[in-house]
Amino acid sequence: MLDAQAKTADKPVKKKKSFFREWFDSILFAVVAASLIRWLFAEPFVIPTPSMENTLLVGDFLFVSKLHYGTRTFRTPLQVPLTHQKIWGTNIPSYSTAIQLPTFRLPGFTRVKNGDVVVFNYPPPRSGEPDYPVDLKTNFIKRCIGIPGDKLEVRQRQVYVNGKAMPVPPHAETNYFVKTTEVLDERFFRKYDIINDFKSPEGPFINWQPLEQYNDSTKTTALVGYSVNTTATTIARFKAFDWVKSIEPLTDQPGQAMPGIYGGSAHQWNRDNYGPVTVPKAGMTVPLNEQTTALYGILIERYEGNENVKLTPTSVSVNGQPISAYTFKQDYYFMMGDNRHNSEDSRYWGFVPEDHIVGKAVLVWMSLDPNPVAFWQKIRWNRLLRLVE
């Protein structure tokens, strides 16, 4: 008995942690746990622009699953946890490129499919931004229109994949020309969620504007023409008004080249008439000529891991050797926004490489209206916990 008491007395008393040490340990555990969850399982995102309206709205907060397509390993391991490009509230970079690792993808539940809403790293360097490592490039969200190997074409706004018409997303928006005998104002359009006062990082988005005022063929009735960017459902409601005289889709015509369209001057394409193009697939070989170089030359130079690539409008050379054909090393995807006339997507900057895919958008968990009519309408209650379709 005395022996046991002596041993107990000799045992050192464990020093209690200080208040600040307990807080530090708790915060450290929370940061590590949140970083692992964000990397392995799901990551929160917020919608900053209207390019996916009305499927996703500005102010929607999403969970993006990393498990569906498989989590990417870190390309840039030296970065401040829970940051992306800069330290919160500053212009100080949150990472170092001193170490760059090869990227691998863990096994996922599925692969990217036609129609999936996908978050990815925007491939080309953005104007005014540094050329970030792949895993730190700006995040974009679009709908996947073409998967590796697909032959894709847009004809008069209708998307065709492998010769079959792809269903238009039910909440997709596009432009219409509306002729009416009534003068319409902001208050009218706001009732139908057609709003002009949102400004994104890409600039203002004009969803309605008067185009012209004129007389009809009888010269007795004054008509006003409006360009309106909205859904087919809203247009069907407009058609029920007796003062709406006609509604026509505003569609670019075939053969009218649009500046800034991906593919350059080698093709006479625009946003409503694009292709046909074949989406590159790992192992696919393409001949290189003026037309194919305009489509695939940038991929060979930027995303395939080749060195010393030189491009001209008609040729490609690698390490000083001209090549007449090229075999792709990874898969690519073609993405488009559901707001077809207000989306910066693959029609303008090209294909998305496989190693730029972040995850699948699965759930809207919160939605805040950036332009509420009243403060109690700030939360869009009808969008909470809505699955992304």
Residue 51 designated active-site: yes
Token representation of residue 26:
């708790």
Distance CA 371, CA 197 (A): 8
82 Cβ partners below 8 Å, 6+ apart?
31, 34, 35, 38
Strand 203-204 with 208-215, pairing: unpaired
Tokens standing for residue 123: 């491939």
Cis peptide upstream of residue 91 (ω within 30 degrees of 0): no
Nearest CA among 213, 233, 236, 232 for reference residue 223? 213
**Helix/strand number for the chain, H first, E second:** 6, 23
Closest of 376, 358, 360 to residue 368, by C-alpha: 376
Query: At residue 244, what is the residue type?
Result: V
Nearest Cα neighbor of 178 from 189, 167, 169 is: 189
Which residue out of 66, 137, 142, 360 is catalytically annotated?
142
Q: Which of 174, 165, 176, 163 is nearest to 115 (CA)?
A: 165
**What Å distances lie between residue 292 and 15, 93, 122, 333, CA to CA?**
71, 37, 22, 17
Q: Note if 142 is an active site residue.
A: yes
Which residue is listed with tokens 């694009």?
274
Distance of CA 306 to the CA centre of its chain: 26
Pair 351, 316: CB distance under 8 Å: no
Helix (H/G/I), strand (E/B), else coil: 30 = helix
Active site residues: 51, 142
